[in-house]
Amino acid sequence: MSHSRLLLVGVFVVLLSALGLATVSAQDEALSDFTFTGWSLNEGLSRDVILANADVFAAENGISITPVAFPFGEYLNQVILQANGGQLSGLVQSDVAWMATLAKLGVLADLGDYVTEGVYTDAALTACQVEGVQYGLPWTTASIGMVANQELLDAAGITEIPTTIAEFEAALEALQAYNPDVIPYAAMTDLAQLKDILPWIWTFGGDVFAEDGSVSLGDEGSIAAADWYASLLERGLIAADVDRFDARQLFAQGLVGFYEDAIVARSLAAGNKPADLDLTVVPVPRPVLNEGDASQALLWGHCLAVVDDDQAASAAALAVYLTSDEAVTSDYFQQLSLPPTIVSVLESEIVQDDEYVSQWTSDITATARANPFWIFPESARMEALLAEAVQAVMIGDASAEEALAEAAEEIGDLSE
């Protein structure tokens, strides 16, 4: 990083400290060396951006930060193994979906004292809480939403983004007719990601848990969603065994009309598309069953948690710096297109002038819902049970009623 960049960030830190937006620094408390564990430290551009900012923090405080990286697919298991072996320390990146699992390990510090009122959005803070305890500081918060290849839609004669299920099906059929080699909708059909049917269950009026906490999976809406998903496969409007990685690659190659991903879908597509391919990525609010229904999406985001040991104060200071420093979060957004969690930057021209992010925030994230399984330590198994049930319906091994009823019974046992 250039000397001018170092000076710029340093000036921002001083100014924000004066405003009460940055907390612990070398002036407040002597910091010590610590480790920083994260899957984003294993991934190209995100690694470079994050470590550049961490290096600035380390230099200003005269300390050393040791990065520890694991691929996303094995990250949670590795973190759990390290925690159970007493080897996890320092700052730890967490998906919002994993906060309850990590909190149950009993190694995380309560970061409530590091939250300055009015800095973070309430939704972002809540996403990193477990039973009301602030076990993480929110790093980025958005949603898993749908995107479309505008050029492909135009070529297929689709003049408007579909807003209802009926319009969506018509658009998929138009894509199929335009080019049989195109996957109209690269839905998550690989077993590991079939849990992504959740927003479709909500779309059809179903849920997995009722308001009283009882399991409602197998209700009319969830049955309708599973049957509809299976019908898309039968008609060739979706493909079998597709995961997020497959969908991303095929979308970037111009072979997918619609698919679901985090808000980083645009930058991922731009980084993987052939040089001679025109590809405009547009956010698509999930189509609704009936006009006037709220579009459904899964809440998505990253938290920074801290292990409660002798490195905790130093790790928490970096967590505050990375998540609430305006210069750092603005840079993070501009380079990675990941929405910040602090009000000041969300309301800034930097974010508001980005039509893609602004539309995603207002049309998709605004009505996003947390995964209902996240609050349970056995959430991964619950999601797997739902996925296995939907897969059974899709391959014709069981009716939706039978498969979801069986899954509901097992999920109920795990939730007690």
Instruction: Give the pLDDT of residue 402.
Output: 98
Chain position carrying tokens 């698509």: 284
Q: Of 365, 321, 383, 355, which Cα lies nearest the Cα of 60?
A: 321
Asked: is 144-298+371-415 a CATH 3.30.479.10 domain? The reply is no
First to last CA, the chain: 51
**What does the angle CA 253 – CA 256 – CA 257 come to, to the nearest 5 degrees?**
130
Listed in order, the ranges of the chain carrying CATH 3.40.190.10 are: 3-141+300-367, 144-298+371-415
Give Cβ neighbours of residue 28 (< 8 Å, ≥ 6 apart).
none
| Residue 413 reports pLDDT greater than 80 | yes
CATH of 3-141+300-367 given 3.40.50.1000, 3.40.50.970, 3.30.465.10, 3.40.190.10: 3.40.190.10
Chain position carrying tokens 């819902």: 369
Provide the pairing of β-strand 183-186 with 133-134. Answer: unpaired
Instruction: Give the pLDDT of residue 26.
Output: 36
Q: What is the pTM of this model?
A: 0.77
What confidence category does residue 63 fall into, taking pLDDT thresholds of 50, 70 and 90?
A: very high
Burial of 87 (0-12, 13-18, 19+ CB in 10 A): exposed
CA 205/CA 216 separation, integer angstroms: 11
Instruction: Give the pLDDT of residue 416.
Output: 83
DSSP line for 238-268: S-TT--HHHHHHHHHTT-EEEEEE-TTHHHH
Q: Contact, 228 vs 289, CB < 8 A?
A: no
The sign one gets for the Cα dihedral 116, 118, 119, 122 is positive
